[in-house]
Structure 1
């Protein structure tokens, strides 16, 4: 019966409408309504009202995010970037028989994708990227109509079903990158997808050579194969991809030269082949006239930079550092477009600095260090108000620095070290409100220092050493409250040391040696809470050494070759400072052998009082010893098994003690046990005077092996008696005097065990505060102070000791926190002292803890300071993200370093990686430290900064002072590149 006849026989509109609903509309729409309501019930959304319209009363075509066709049938589901979480009911979703588009990317979806996905046979567009799925990607061969497939950074793992791609011949967009798939060779199935214009396979564990057949994909505009295991030469076939606008091959193992014909890719806008082993010259690139970003750093390229680069009208970013380029830069380079940065550091380049790279007023980074450039700094850069970082150190540059350079409004670092510059630092430097680091060492600068230098209130580091500066140090320098490091050695400075330096509350490193400074040492220096290194040697200083210096925790002190008189304060009369007072005939000491002994005439009344107190203390010790002897001789036997086991204990003290070995040993009872390790137990000891100690009891029968990385003091050698190095290493570690290294009071030994007595840290370890049941909320300011303090402790171990000490087990559980949450580096059980003229430690016992071990350990077994730097970078990542070094969410066989780097590459913003406990206003500051952490965890040790540089970078990243920086090499920083790479 036709529809017209129905209308003729039943002229009642209500009845006809009911028939239409029952027979034509109801069955389909009711099924689709139920399907969408099932989808809604499976998902959660806490930030938007996306599902408010998804009610049974509404037509499904009016649901937010739903698109229907002309017949009212659901055609599209668009719910990307809606903060959705939960699992997807694909059995229900794929019942929508006309569904062409499913867009759920950039959410928080989880769970696995079942084989029901194969029933979505009408799909043309599938986006599940940027989610947290798990398990394998199911077979996709039934989705033959797919044109768009995005699974990028979706969390899938296992073996990807590459073979199923052979059936998806309609694909134009394929993005599978940043997933922890199982390793495989380059998938040949992809080479048959000749309609592709977008192919993203970065960081998805593919290896082998790039096939020649890649040239079959002639429609490609975007090809990204970075962060994989690809090797061999760039194939000639790639030269056929004349539509390419973006080509990314960075961080692989590619070798050889650019193939002949590569210059035919004239549509290229972004090209990155950095961090490979490519070689040859750049002549094949001279015709890439549309290039905007060229990244070829960390390769083996050589030859001259083509003159044609100077005519590239769209060039904005150029990074060629760490290669072997020679010759000069094209004079017009960077002068046409809104040029952003240039980094050609660590090459063999000569000639002058091109004058017009800031012609458009957009240049932020001028980085040309470690080359052979000559001439001066062009005047044009004095007007470059956008410039943030000027680093041209270690060249052959000369002349007078244009005055405008000193006062650039955005400048944060000026590094002109190791050149031949001359002339003054002009008074307008006080206008540089952003300037944090000024490095002018080893030049010919002269004149007096500007009195208004304090106007540059952001200073954290100044190094003017080895120049010809004269006159007095400005008294106004005391206004620099953020200044942490000040070096003015080997100049012509005269007059008194400003007492105002005592107001530089952040100062930890002060070097003024090799000048003509006179007068007394200001007592105010003794009030600097963080001062760790003080060198005033080779001046004309007079008077007595201020007693206030006794309160400092100095690791470096040098007052030699001055005109000082009087007695050396007893607290400074230690072996570590044995040469610190030489060349001062007027000085004397009661305990230092290399100084004359203080006579009664030369001793002050204060010294006499000190001697009397020492005599009284000595008599008290004798009396106490006699009492202890009588007690030990006639006491009843103690029931504690530890006490009974040993007839005698020998104490070796490293600080002035207020307790005896007997008091410590008696407290080693089960009820005082606070921790256990592979080498022994840890006890908390409360002394009679109320002070608290932490005591490690180490059995000499303990034998270290690769599974005992968590144990303390593995340096006991083979465990059978003391090793020949034990006394030397403990002596070195016990001499450490640093506010951020845990204090070792003494060792107490017996026949079969050792006790190590440390200061007690009431807040436990950083690991406890971040990850365990003892976790507490710490905002960024607390975490930042922990990061800086721990870095300073490691810096001292690496750079402040006579011989560097490599910790070898840096981790958050070995960073202890005192009552004020100040950090101390602890547990030197795996520490290695670098001995003069000795090779690096190379042992086949892996030292360290899983998640913190530097990658080079797996193939070289070598330990250097850079191994500690890597481990510290992991700690920084813990502080920023709140995550453990190894978490299931990172994927199989992945750790926090790989996770962070992957996230950094693929997010425009990295705020989501920052721990939710950190307040929103400080999350950007935490991001800055995360970028430092990435620099510390560089795969190649040589690219990691020293701990000294890490401290400087962290100080520069003080909350509220910086915005997004990342790093390109040791000592170098680079703005985050536009494509999100590190």
Structure 2
């Protein structure tokens, strides 16, 4: 056959083949594209690219999948510590690319418009990374079935409109990004193939549209942590395939809609922290529930008895509602119940007996209700139980002996009930027990010596019971013990010398017992001791001189049988020794001189003491009529002296006239919005700080109170003066500034504090008074200030939220030991939930937690955020707001965005910190990142913060690697 008869392709086909050969990349081109991808991420600390070499086949590259023609279809490199900026312009030249999975890495920078060229994509996962900027237009990715951009650092406006073209989407996850606020996107309602929709923490506001019920394929719907309000739409009842519904941390109100009970496949349901009301009857039919979280709402009525038949229930939380009636007695008896919290309701009846029937219950929390009866005997066999809180109820009877010995129990709280009987020797087997609260009951008998075998005990509070006998001599074995409160019992015998071996003790209260013998010298060796109350006992002998070495905020030895000389160094506690007629002192007023005739009768000495006391009172009354004029450049007013009222909160060694006479221009050391601060030096050399707060122009506080009383208590906010007094008058901690007394008149309030001569932490870090402080000093300041806040949050009878934590409110004594100060904005919380509402944004710019932008609720986590900023100041030496951070940016933003690697983190450390300590400083910087998480619930408690700080003492050197982080936590450094 001649050549001319050979087949010749049509010219058009030849042209098309030529065009495709130019447009479509060859396999060698794809090799170069992937090597460029590798080059862009060359800083990554990973071996994943070892196989990505010029001489290797693309098919053999780790994480690469090719089709039968050898072209790349998938890039699968999740959780590989990839670091760098993605080159989407080149990646999307892989024309057969259908799947990109790069989730949970450390990718940053913007995505860019190049993504729109990945037109064949069906699967895109960039979740849990650190991108910046906005999400680009997505309309061209019409084949997408799976889109995950969750927790990736995106901000700005999301292109909701582009979702209209993504009608094949089945999985959509966009939550935990800082998008601009927007209404619920109606474009999503057209994506009727969706089975997964995650929009938690994505800045949605307004109401959820009824059309949500059209997404009938949904199995998971998460809309939590947004600004959504109004009622839950009736349409949700149509989503019969739902197994998870998350609506928590919004502003939903109203009742559960009719038909909500149709969600019979629901396994996990959380609508906590809203304003929902009505009863729970619509939930009776949700028999597959494993987790039900409805805490912090306004639900009322009884808990449906059907809940007792739920066979799969594992987590059950209804605390802080208005629920009444009994709990279903079969609750938890069918399933593997692990957690129940129904605290702060009005529930009655008995505690259900079989919630640990399956042996899985880890926490039983029913505090602040009206439960009656005994603790069911079954719980003595509940080995997994870690937390048992039944305080503030009407429970009675003898606690089952096995309860005391549960091996995993870390917290027992039986306070304010009617329990009686003993604490048995079984408590020696409580190897995990850290906190034992039994106050305000009728417990009796001796405290067993075996309690010393519960070696992890941190707090023992047995106050206001009927315990008797001796305090066990073995108590000194409790090396972790921080607080020992045995007051108002019937303990007798001596205070054990071994108590001085409890090296962590901060608070000891043994008052109101029948203890005898001498005060042990060993108590003077407790360097951490802050409060010592031994009053109202029968202690005798001399006051140990060793107590002089302690730095106590409270010392009370009143009403005992002590004798001899009061150590001169303890004279500042002059109100701490009354009721001991055989004591003498040369420096304390009202005490007989130690050089006087010891033969004087006790009656005569008491007569003389009374005479001196009356004379002193007359002098004080006379001083009330002294007119003191205070003039300053800012205030040309007179302090009126005809109505002074002094209230002391500690033992005083001065009179009000000494203070008033010192309020003059020469002693002015500071000015603030609410008044001036003066330094006062007493005749004995003691230095004090006095805050002078002018009252409002309307003057009389009583008139203000009567007016607000007519408006109702809820409309009245306490003044800064009242807030400060309410807080500091009851607080005793070595890391909280001491308030000695308040002195008030018609137009002025004076608060008298200890004077701290090294000023504030702000002064030492940022002003002309800046002081060279290496890391060991900064670390001690961080730990001390943290302990002060920890005490306010966890150690007081009622939680105290400072609300203005900042470096200028952390004062330093002569040894640079810190004190938390300035409680003018503080709140004392009455409820255990730990929240309150304010109509004033409290705090200082740069320290204010981000949730203040959208909620008026105040919690301890707001203080934690502010403390995190202080930690950043200590590590970096920077102010919270600096021009170098950028417009409208703060230190938190700056730190987050410069923690991309270990080297970057070290580079943030203040150059004044020695090289040897920079690794330690980075560890504290990491703690600060946890403290400043955007989402409050992700922040640790102050107790946890202090524990982390103590774990990272200087010179505990460990390796640091960068791992994935999230919206709330930023880059995370693992140690």
The alignment's TM-score, normalised by the length of structure 2, stands at 0.72
- The match for 2:551 among 536, 550, 553 is 553
Q: Does 1:306 align with 2:308?
A: no
Equivalent runs, 1:77-156 vs 2, <5 Å: 77-156=75-154
Query: For residues 782 and 267 of structure 1, do their structure 2 counterparts lie closer, same or farther at Cα, with a shift above 3 Å needed?
Result: farther
Deviations 1:17-50 (A, max 9, x none): xx99x98999611221121111111113543211
How many residue pairs get aligned? The number is 813
Number of the residue aligned with 2:179: 181
Superposition deviation, residue 268 in structure 1: 0.6
Distance 1:225 1:489 in 2: 50
Query: For residues 521 and 2 of structure 1, do their structure 2 counterparts lie closer, same or farther at Cα, with a shift above 3 Å needed?
Result: farther
Superposition deviation, residue 484 in structure 1: 0.9
- The match for 1:601 among 594, 597, 604 is 597
In 2, are the aligned partners of 1:487 and 1:511 still within 8 Å (CA)?
yes
Superposition deviation, residue 870 in structure 1: 3.3
- The match for 2:398 among 397, 400, 403 is 400
Deviations 1:859-884 (A, max 9, x none): 9999xxx7888335531576599799
Distance 1:781 1:402 in 2: 45
Greater shift, 454-463 or 515-524, is seen at: 515-524
Query: For residues 767 and 379 of structure 1, do their structure 2 counterparts lie closer, same or farther at Cα, with a shift above 3 Å needed?
Result: farther
- The match for 1:365 among 363, 366, 371 is 363
Greater length-normalized contact order (CA 8 Å, ≥ 6 residues apart): 2
Distance 1:542 1:57 in 2: 90
Query: For residues 935 and 923 of structure 1, do their structure 2 counterparts lie closer, same or farther at Cα, with a shift above 3 Å needed?
Result: same
In 2, are the aligned partners of 1:526 and 1:551 still within 8 Å (CA)?
yes
Distance 2:563 2:112 in 1: 84
Equivalent runs, 1:423-822 vs 2, <5 Å: 423-574=421-572, 577-602=573-598, 704=673, 739-740=734-735, 758-760=756-758, 785-786=783-784, 788-791=786-789, 809-812=804-807, 814-815=809-810
Distance 2:121 2:2 in 1: 34
Query: For residues 563 and 393 of structure 1, do their structure 2 counterparts lie closer, same or farther at Cα, with a shift above 3 Å needed?
Result: same
Deviations 1:709-751 (A, max 9, x none): xxx99956689xxx99999999x99999964357999xxxxxx
Superposition deviation, residue 452 in structure 1: 2.0
Number of the residue aligned with 2:818: 824
Equivalent runs, 1:322-337 vs 2, <5 Å: 322-337=320-335
Deviations 1:622-665 (A, max 9, x none): xxxxxxxxxxxxxxxxxxxxxxxxxxxxxxxx999xxxxxxxxx
Residue 390 of structure 1 aligns to a residue in which SS?
strand
- The match for 1:208 among 202, 206, 209 is 206
Superposition deviation, residue 789 in structure 1: 3.5
Distance 2:379 2:846 in 1: 45
CA RMSD of aligned residues (A): 5.4
Number of the residue aligned with 2:45: 47
Number of the residue aligned with 1:234: 232
Query: For residues 296 and 792 of structure 1, do their structure 2 counterparts lie closer, same or farther at Cα, with a shift above 3 Å needed?
Result: closer
Superposition deviation, residue 848 in structure 1: 3.8
Number of the residue aligned with 1:29: 27
Residue 144 of structure 1 aligns to a residue in which SS?
coil
Deviations 1:71-120 (A, max 9, x none): 11111111111111111111111111111111111111111121221111
Query: For residues 484 and 935 of structure 1, do their structure 2 counterparts lie closer, same or farther at Cα, with a shift above 3 Å needed?
Result: farther
Residue 94 of structure 2 aligns to a residue in which SS?
coil
Query: For residues 744 and 193 of structure 1, do their structure 2 counterparts lie closer, same or farther at Cα, with a shift above 3 Å needed?
Result: closer
Distance 1:918 1:385 in 2: 44
Query: For residues 859 and 566 of structure 1, do their structure 2 counterparts lie closer, same or farther at Cα, with a shift above 3 Å needed?
Result: farther
Greater shift, 235-244 or 328-337, is seen at: 328-337
Residue 140 of structure 1 aligns to a residue in which SS?
coil
Number of the residue aligned with 1:60: 58
- The match for 1:871 among 863, 868, 875 is 863
Number of the residue aligned with 1:638: none
Query: For residues 603 and 505 of structure 1, do their structure 2 counterparts lie closer, same or farther at Cα, with a shift above 3 Å needed?
Result: farther
Distance 1:805 1:294 in 2: 30
Query: For residues 807 and 435 of structure 1, do their structure 2 counterparts lie closer, same or farther at Cα, with a shift above 3 Å needed?
Result: closer
Greater shift, 211-220 or 63-72, is seen at: 63-72
Distance 1:757 1:789 in 2: 20
Residue 349 of structure 1 aligns to a residue in which SS?
strand
In 1, are the aligned partners of 2:108 and 2:129 still within 8 Å (CA)?
yes
In 1, are the aligned partners of 2:325 and 2:349 still within 8 Å (CA)?
yes
In 1, are the aligned partners of 2:65 and 2:74 still within 8 Å (CA)?
yes
In 2, are the aligned partners of 1:436 and 1:460 still within 8 Å (CA)?
yes
In 2, are the aligned partners of 1:127 and 1:149 still within 8 Å (CA)?
yes
In 1, are the aligned partners of 2:786 and 2:945 still within 8 Å (CA)?
no
Greater shift, 267-276 or 536-545, is seen at: 536-545
Residue 402 of structure 2 aligns to a residue in which SS?
helix
Residue 326 of structure 1 aligns to a residue in which SS?
strand
Superposition deviation, residue 396 in structure 1: 0.8
Deviations 1:56-85 (A, max 9, x none): 212222211111111111111111111111
Query: For residues 859 and 88 of structure 1, do their structure 2 counterparts lie closer, same or farther at Cα, with a shift above 3 Å needed?
Result: closer
Distance 2:349 2:728 in 1: 49
In 2, are the aligned partners of 1:468 and 1:492 still within 8 Å (CA)?
yes
Distance 1:926 1:396 in 2: 46
In 1, are the aligned partners of 2:225 and 2:248 still within 8 Å (CA)?
yes
Query: For residues 82 and 275 of structure 1, do their structure 2 counterparts lie closer, same or farther at Cα, with a shift above 3 Å needed?
Result: same
Distance 1:522 1:880 in 2: 43
Q: Does 1:222 align with 2:224?
A: no
Structure 1: runs of 5+ lacking an equivalent: 8-18, 605-653, 657-695, 746-755, 836-840, 902-911, 961-975, 977-982
Superposition deviation, residue 600 in structure 1: 2.6
Query: For residues 501 and 757 of structure 1, do their structure 2 counterparts lie closer, same or farther at Cα, with a shift above 3 Å needed?
Result: closer
Distance 1:336 1:590 in 2: 73
Distance 1:411 1:215 in 2: 45
The alignment's TM-score, normalised by the length of structure 1, stands at 0.72
Distance 1:196 1:922 in 2: 47
Distance 2:730 2:392 in 1: 36
Number of the residue aligned with 1:275: 273
In 2, are the aligned partners of 1:43 and 1:87 still within 8 Å (CA)?
yes
Query: For residues 42 and 98 of structure 1, do their structure 2 counterparts lie closer, same or farther at Cα, with a shift above 3 Å needed?
Result: same
Residue 288 of structure 1 aligns to a residue in which SS?
coil
Equivalent runs, 1:835-850 vs 2, <5 Å: 848-850=843-845
Distance 2:66 2:239 in 1: 38
Superposition deviation, residue 438 in structure 1: 0.3
Distance 1:497 1:196 in 2: 70
Query: For residues 928 and 51 of structure 1, do their structure 2 counterparts lie closer, same or farther at Cα, with a shift above 3 Å needed?
Result: closer
Query: For residues 395 and 580 of structure 1, do their structure 2 counterparts lie closer, same or farther at Cα, with a shift above 3 Å needed?
Result: same
